[in-house]
Amino acid sequence: MKVIVKNNFLNVRVGKPSVNAPCYQYLAPGSELEVDGVLYEGDSYEGTTKWLKDEAGNYYWAGGVINNNSISKPEIIKDEANFDLIKKIVLKGGIPKGDGKNITIAILDSGIDISHPSLTNSIIESVDFLSSDKGQKITNNHGSLVAGLIVCNDSILKGLAPESKIRNYRVIDNNGYVDSKALFDSLAYIVNNNIHVDIINLSLDVGDDVIEIIQDNVNKLISKGCIIIVSGGNAVYINSITNLKGVISIGIFNTNDSLKTKPNYIVSYLNNSIKSTGVAVQKAYDYISDDSAYAAITTGLVSRYISSENIQKDELQLRVIDFLKNNSFPEKEENKFEIFKPYKI
């Protein structure tokens, strides 16, 4: 039986259906998974004690997936010949005038298709940190979709910060697994080699055990003035990556959620699917949604903001947070929620 991972990264538990079983990999939202179709009793998580198992004996919490035949996708925005995100985003104080010039963004993801004509000129470095499948051709389009929302600038899509430059670090494999060692190694690489990065985009999630391992390098990067933006989760489930100290967490919600935002998120957005760049040889343009997409959108906005301001390194973190909060809309004051508008508690 095939199932699809829902809105949040899913732990792959080894050997037994337990939240305490070893976990070395994670499945990204939207990943397809083949399981045996049997529901196994295991540890209770968020009120659900049912687990699924694959052929290799790995277990998956059943509440984190949906049957492939019953997927309901968020609204897809009607295609436009020239979809300009800069004109779509609604901020209280208006869109910053900067275009991302002189800003370098590290995207730690599934790898970006460097052959895509709308991305290739923006990429200044590509490193594959995967422990396995290293060097394999990229077929997972998640990283390319994230990149497109930020830097694409063609007749199909105009991203938010087209003059930004991208460091392309591959830490998620083609099956959607987050390689925790690759994530650690990529952060350590930036720190140890004094790689210039203004913003890091982490449209992914990791387990609590990984947080402790990568926190030190996160601290070092933030102390150097690097802004780290992560996909925080939704109105129901908060990703573990929000437990990283000092990061900027972005959430999403759906129209039927009773609570739209959470204190863990700096801002939240109404979820919808957005067209972006894919893997050129498969599908040059595709759709991305959920907190992955809106972390990328926030990265683009922050790049525009930083490139239009002269901010001292020791003030940057607070100034960026103030920029996001001051330009978002209080949830309680809204009668109708709109896409492309950031909301706050």
**Cα(63)–Cα(241) distance, integer angstroms:** 19
Structure tokens at 209: 């055990």
Hey, which residues does 251 pair with through a beta bridge?
233, 268
Which among 19, 29, 31 has a CA at the least distance from the CA of 60? 19
Per-residue model confidence (pLDDT) at position 88: 94
Contacts with 161 (C-beta within 8 Å, 6 or more apart), sequence order: 98, 99, 100, 103, 105, 150, 151, 299, 300, 301, 303, 304, 307
Q: pLDDT tens-digit profile of 13-40?
A: 998 888 888 887 888 887 888 887 677 7
Q: Around Cβ 329, how many Cβ atoms within 10 Å?
A: 17
Percentage above 90 pLDDT, the chain: 60
Structural domains of the chain, with CATH: 2-70 (2.30.30), 83-344 (3.40.50.200)
Q: pLDDT tens-digit profile of 229-270?
A: 999 988 888 899 999 999 999 999 987 776 677 788 999 999
Per-residue model confidence (pLDDT) at position 82: 76
Taking the model in full, what pTM does it have? 0.80
Per-residue model confidence (pLDDT) at position 75: 47
Q: pLDDT tens-digit profile of 323-336?
A: 999 999 998 888 88
